[in-house]
Structure 1
Amino acid sequence: MKTITIEGQIRTEFGKAATRQLRSEEKVPAVIYGGAQEVNFSAPAAAFKSVVYTPDFTVIDVQVGGKSHKCVLKDLQFDKVTDSLAHVDFLELVEDKKVVVTLPIKFVGTPAGVKAGGKLVTKIKSLKVKLYPKDLRENIEVDISALELNGNVRVEDVKAENVEIMNSPRIPIASVTLTRQLKQEEAAAPKAEAAKAPAAAAPAAKK
C-alpha cells in the first residue's frame, strides 16, 4: 500500500483572518476526523500535491504535534476564484472501525469479445467500498477475460474478500461493443451469402 507523509503544524488560531494569513504563507488548513480527537493543522500547499493530484489510492501519514496519524483523504475544497486548494479533510484510520473509501478498479485480462474484434468500453473507474483498515488495498481487481461481445460486467459480478461494495449491484462496470468495422462485416455477411446462392431455375415455357 502506497503511503504519503505530510508534516504539518497544529493550528491554534481560527477564523477568516487566520485562514488568510495561512494562505499568504502558501499553507493549507486541514482537519483530521474519526480518531480519539479532532486534529486541526496546516501544511505547505506543496505537501498536498501528491495526495490531491493522483488517481491512485493512498494512505496518508500525517505527522503533527509530535504524533503520527494514519489517514485517508475524505474531502477537498477549492477556492472558487483562484481554484487553488483551500481546505483538506482527512479521516483517521482506527483498527476496529470500518471506513468508507473509493478504490480504483484494475481490469485484469483481455476480454474474449475484444479478441473477436470488439471494443472494450469502461463505464466506471472506481468503486465505493466499506472495509476495515487492515483490508485496505490500492485497487479492486476485476477479471474481464471472459467478457464476450455485447456482454457486461456489473458491480454484482465483482468478488473482493472482506470488502462490502456499496454501489448499486446492477450498474455496469465494463462492456464489449461491436466496432464499426465488425458491424459492417456483419451487415455484409447476409448479402455475400445471398450472392453465392445459385439462381432459381427459370420456369419452363408453355407450349
Structure 2
Amino acid sequence: MGCCSGRCTLIFICTLQLLLALERQVFDFLGYQWAPILANFVHIIIVILGLFGTIQYRPRYIVVYTVWAALWVAWNVFIICFYLDVGGLSKDSDLLTFNISAHHSWWSEHGPGCVRREMPQAPGIRTTESHSYITVMGCLLDYQYIEVVHSGTQILFALLGFVYACYVVSAITEEEDSFDFIGGFDPFPLYHVNEKPSHLLLKPMYLST
C-alpha cells in the first residue's frame, strides 16, 4: 500500500490531531480544567499509538485508535453541550474541575478583545486577598463559543480519522490475506514447486539404454 493512498492521509490526520490536542492541553492546564486535561492526555497517547500502527502496518493499534475516535467524538459532543447549557448542563458549574476549584475556561478572561479588570474590595472588609472579584468586558467572542469551536474541530478530525482508519485496516488485512493465499506464510514453500514423480525422472535413463 503506497504512501499516496489512505495510509498517508491517516498519518497526516494523526499528526494534525496531535498538534491540536497539545494546543488544547496547554489552555486546559491554564484554566485548571482537570477532566479535559485527563481526556486530552489519553487522546494524545491513543493518537500516537494509531500513528505508530499506521506507519508500522499494525492493524490492531489502528483498531484501538478507531474505537477511541468514536469515544472522542462523544466526549467533544458532551463538551459542546456543557458550554451551550444543553440538557441540564451548565457552563458555570465546576463539573470539569471535579468540584475541586471554581476555575473556568482560560478563554473566559483572555479571549480576543477581552479587557480584564480587578474590582477592589468594599471598604471595611479585610481579607488575605487584595481583590474580591474580576470583571471581563469587551470580548469579541464569548469564551463558550471558542470552546465549542475547539470541540467542533476535534470532532471533524476524529470523524476523518475514523473513516480513514477503517479504510487502512481493511487495506492492510486484504494485503495480508492475499500474501497468505500465494504462499507467503507457507513454512515449506519449496516442496510445492517443481515436484515430479520419481518414475518420470527415471524414464529418460531407460530410453537412453
Output the TM-score relative to the length of structure 2.
0.28
**Higher helix proportion:** 2
Larger Rg: 2
**Higher strand proportion:** 1
